């Protein structure tokens, strides 16, 4: 079914403004052109000079010259475009000469998040074969496949999952990092992939950022010490026979530059500071990365003083390529070029002119190919710049011996599926978990525990690999997975149970903390649910969890000594939880090896982890970094107790310094509109909160709890709308670019008698929508709860300006209809979505 503009007139609407909002606010989204914002132009002379690490090989350069001379213009353009496997076929790679494919966080072979490893390898073979299929006299250039293997080969079922970078930052162990890189590279080779979008070298300055856990720490220190060993683990050492091949792959240093320093911790936001601060805070890790021979650098979504990095010639070309002598290639981030001033996702010569070598154009690739080819012909994209981008990509492919490697399944390690989650790699991951744990409190020396004791294990994170592994795990957000998706993993509960049983003790799992016999000790495991990128952005760093806090307080009141194991992607204000616990462990997002937590809790190893981020004293202490004026965290950067340390902690204040803010992705839930939104009803042009029942009425309804839903009934007496409107326009462009969807849960009690439209609007004359009648009629036949998910990009294609959405949801019809709406959310979809062209 195609997504189209809805014929509003056919429904009898006379005023588009009525569908837009109760008010008529329009926000003009503007962005300063590159170089026009004061302080947005880098002076290369102010940056440290760097000599090239990899010596120029005349034979390689001659080979590149010969290839470029033999390539058609179409082939050159194809080489600089990367498409997502959810939107491209092997035949497309052949026809459009595409240089690269990627799998985004929600893209998998066959569209299955848990596709088996053999399907990944088969897909890699298919794309490779398409790129090497003879095509007249054109040279054959192998495709390269990129993937976000950011904590192991985390997109593939059965792979070893290492702690996320925040935990590895706590470990302070460069040799461990090197070995993790080596293991990850081998597991990627097993499935035929040859390029990872890692490591992330972000220096994170505001813990509200949803990607905080992807950074090693709040200062350049840890990332700078890790960059070279991790890249050498992934790629091998320059000059070695297996550099970039055999057990090694191509690595990516990302995201250049300043991704962790945006104002307010907003993902894809603006870094507002002078050039010296930008250089000194965020560039240091890139020097050892380049010295180690990293072959690709990913450009950041973010801006510097209003200018998008994807359009910053002074940083991409003048600093990275010229001052630092980087001779690999710069790859964009997910349609990031479309955020450059004057650009769209499908048309942006400006980004290539600024220095981008490969567009990451997941779903926009075909139209981008067309416009880029046109720009190469009309001169907007100079041929010299195009040839330079192609040269850089070919140089990396030749260095990696891809022209001579054969299909992925025939290469070393291809198809050796027993290496996914193999014994040695899991042991390495368990070691990493042990070294990542940070002990914040240990009153009375409660830890280490005696394994022969009677142990109660509680909390919603105890036996929950989805929560334990975090975002970027089998799906972009890390949600929607089940235990069977982790065949080579051990939950924290399973690790504790094995430890206690081996010592003759007794362990009981009770998520809610109930017990028949009073235990000697309780271990409560809880924390943040998985998220990734901007979906993890927060208004503050206060952790709220009434259920697990009540559980801790109940155990304390009962006299049960309690250890809290906190799972999180950032340092958070948890004063009430610290007060209710006798011992408190920051376990971050440990990955697949829960046994590593048990090893330390029961004394097989001592705590070694030290805080890579300062721990906040209050919920609004969001940007607290060592070296700040008036630096005053609860626990400082580098803090971490051992068993030998005195671990008592005085009672802490428990009042929140900031008010918890509701999830901005909630359009409707728990029987009411989300924060900052209202439900309006009525005829077009006459929407109100209580228009009377003549055209449409809304009544509270029950699904799981009392009045947790709303029943909407259209009488058929005339055209009518049920709309949820914003108090102020919302910018949903990030969400649209990130493949989020408007997801509804509803039940149809009486089918529609006329056409129904699901609409989103952004002001007068700015409406796009979807015909819903057939779907609702089908749902009425089952009388069951139905999930409907429409990608936000479909609304954008239908004409909605996603930078100023005023009405994120409205349902309109002139006929009769009776339905119950349980929820409406903007989310990473949990299942299939409707497709749009």
Catalytic residues: 333, 533
Distance from CA of residue 175 to its chain's centroid? 27
d(C-alpha 699, C-alpha 696), whole Å: 10
Quote the strand ranges of 416-495, DSSP E: 438-442, 454-458
d(C-alpha 679, C-alpha 722), whole Å: 7
Q: What is the DSSP string of 257-283?
A: TTGGG-GGG-TT-EE-S-HHHHHHHHS
d(C-alpha 409, C-alpha 400), whole Å: 16
Q: Which residues contact 257 (CB under 8 A, 6 or more apart)?
A: 278, 282, 283, 286, 300, 304, 309, 315
Q: Enter the tokens of residue 103.
A: 């799998």
- Is-contact 571 166, C-beta < 8 A? no
d(C-alpha 114, C-alpha 481), whole Å: 9
- At residue 837, the 3 state secondary structure works out as coil
- At residue 669, the 3 state secondary structure works out as strand
Which residues, in sequence order, are bridge partners of residue 741?
Answer: 791, 827
Residue 50 Ramachandran class (φ > 0 left, ψ -120 to 50 alpha, else beta): beta
- In degrees rounded to 5, what are phi and psi of residue 836? -125, 155
- At residue 622, the 3 state secondary structure works out as coil
- In degrees rounded to 5, what are phi and psi of residue 114? -110, 35
d(C-alpha 674, C-alpha 662), whole Å: 7
Q: In 10 A of CB 60, how many CB atoms?
A: 14
Q: Enter the tokens of residue 827.
A: 């989310």
Quote the strand ranges of 464-599, DSSP E: 506-509, 521-527, 562-567, 583-588
Residue 508 Ramachandran class (φ > 0 left, ψ -120 to 50 alpha, else beta): beta
Q: What is the DSSP letter of 323?
A: I
**3-state SS, one letter per residue, for 112-143:** CCCCCHHHHHHHHHHHHHHHHCCCCCCCCCCC
| Closest by CA position to 203, among listed 274, 92, 269, 278 | 278
d(C-alpha 142, C-alpha 407), whole Å: 9
| Closest by CA position to 615, among listed 58, 218, 184 | 218
| Closest by CA position to 193, among listed 101, 324, 307 | 101
d(C-alpha 215, C-alpha 260), whole Å: 8
Q: Which residues contact 748 (CB under 8 A, 6 or more apart)?
A: 776, 777, 779, 780, 783, 786, 817, 818, 819
Q: Tokens 């890189």 correspond to what residue? A: 181
């Amino acid at each position: 079914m195609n997504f189209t503009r809805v014929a509003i007139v056919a429904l009898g609407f006379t005023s588009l403004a009525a569908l837009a909002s109760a008010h008529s606010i329009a926000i003009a989204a503007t962005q300063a052109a590159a170089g026009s914002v004061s302080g947005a132009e880098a002076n290369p002379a102010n940056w440290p000079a760097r000599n090239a690490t990899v010596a120029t090989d005349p034979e390689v350069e001659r080979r590149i010259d010969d290839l470029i001379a033999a390539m058609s213009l179409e082939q050159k353009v194809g080489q600089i475009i990367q498409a997502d496997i959810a939107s491209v076929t092997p035949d497309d790679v052949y026809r459009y000469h595409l240089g690269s494919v990627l799998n985004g966080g929600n893209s998998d072979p066959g569209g299955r998040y848990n596709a088996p490893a053999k399907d990944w390898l088969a897909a890699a073979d298919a794309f490779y074969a398409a790129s090497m299929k003879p095509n007249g006299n054109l040279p054959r250039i192998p495709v390269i496949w990129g993937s976000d293997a950011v904590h192991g080969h985390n997109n593939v079922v059965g792979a070893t999952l290492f702690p996320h970078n925040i935990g590895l930052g706590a470990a302070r162990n460069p040799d461990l990092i090197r070995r993790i890189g080596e293991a990850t590279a081998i597991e990627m080779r097993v499935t035929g992939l040859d390029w990872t979008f890692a490591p992330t070298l972000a220096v994170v300055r505001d813990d509200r950022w949803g990607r905080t856990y992807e950074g090693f720490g709040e200062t350049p220190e840890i990332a700078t010490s890790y960059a070279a060993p991790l890249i050498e683990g992934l790629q091998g050492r320059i000059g070695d026979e297996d550099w970039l091949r055999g057990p090694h792959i191509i690595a990516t240093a990302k995201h250049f530059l300043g991704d962790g320093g945006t104002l307010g911790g907003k993902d894809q936001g603006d870094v507002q500071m002078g050039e010296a601060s930008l250089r000194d805070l965020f560039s240091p890790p890139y020097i050892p990365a380049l010295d180690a021979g990293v072959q690709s650098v990913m450009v950041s979504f973010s801006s510097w003083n209003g200018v998008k990095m994807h359009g910053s010639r002074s940083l991409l070309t003048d600093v990275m390529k010229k001052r630092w002598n980087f001779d690999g290639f710069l790859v964009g981030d997910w349609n990031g070029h479309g955020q450059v001033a004057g650009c769209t996702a499908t048309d942006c010569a400006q980004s290539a002119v600024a220095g981008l070598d490969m567009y990451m154009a997941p779903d926009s690739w075909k139209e981008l190919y067309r416009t880029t080819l046109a720009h190469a012909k009309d001169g907007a994209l100079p041929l010299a710049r195009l040839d330079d981008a192609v040269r850089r990509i070919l140089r990396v492919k030749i260095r990696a011996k891809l022209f001579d490697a054969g299909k992925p399944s025939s290469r070393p390690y291809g198809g050796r599926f027993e290496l996914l989650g193999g014994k040695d790699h899991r042991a390495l991951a368990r070691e990493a978990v042990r070294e990542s744990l940070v002990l914040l409190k240990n009153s009375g020396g409660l830890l280490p525990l005696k394994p022969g004791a009677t142990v109660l294990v509680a909390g919603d994170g105890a036996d929950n690999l989805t929560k334990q592994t975090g975002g970027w795990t089998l799906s972009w957000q890390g949600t929607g997975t089940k235990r069977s998706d982790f065949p080579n993993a051990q939950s924290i509960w399973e690790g504790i149970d094995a430890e206690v049983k081996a010592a003759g003790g007794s362990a009981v799992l009770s998520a809610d903390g109930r017990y028949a016999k009073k235990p000697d000790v309780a271990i409560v495991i809880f924390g943040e649910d998985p998220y990734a990128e901007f979906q993890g952005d927060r208004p503050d760093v206060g952790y709220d969890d009434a259920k697990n806090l009540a559980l801790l307080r109940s155990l304390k009141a009962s006299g049960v000594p309690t250890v809290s194991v906190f799972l999180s992607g950032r340092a958070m204000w948890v004063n009430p939880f610290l007060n209710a616990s006798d011992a408190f462990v920051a376990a971050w997002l440990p990955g697949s090896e829960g046994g590593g937590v048990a090893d330390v809790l029961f004394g097989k190893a001592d705590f070694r982890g030290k805080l890579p981020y300062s721990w906040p004293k209050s919920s609004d202490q969001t940007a607290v970094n060592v070296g700040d004026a008036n630096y005053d965290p609860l626990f400082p950067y580098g803090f971490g107790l051992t068993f030998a340390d005195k671990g008592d902690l005085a009672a802490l204040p428990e009042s929140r310094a900031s008010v918890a803010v509701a999830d901005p992705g909630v359009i409707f839930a728990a029987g009411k509109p989300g924060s900052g939104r209202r439900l309006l009803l009525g005829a077009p042009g006459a929407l109100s909160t209580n228009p009377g029942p003549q055209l449409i009425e809304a009544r509270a309804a029950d699904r799981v709890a009392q009045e947790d839903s709303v029943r909407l009934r259209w009488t058929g007496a005339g055209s009518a709308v049920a709309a949820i409107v914003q108090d102020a326009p919302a910018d949903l462009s990030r969400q649209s670019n990130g493949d989020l969807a408007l997801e509804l849960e509803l039940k149809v009690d009486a089918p529609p008698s006329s056409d129904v439209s699901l609409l989103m609007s952004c002001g007068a004359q700015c409406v796009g929508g979807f015909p819903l009648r057939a779907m609702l009629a089908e749902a009425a036949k089952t009388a069951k709860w139905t999930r409907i998910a429409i990608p936000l990009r479909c609304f954008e294609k239908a004409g909605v300006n996603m930078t100023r959405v005023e009405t994120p949801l409205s349902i309109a019809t002139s006929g009769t209809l009776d339905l119950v709406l349980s929820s409406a959310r903007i989310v990473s979809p949990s299942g299939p979505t409707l497709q749009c062209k």
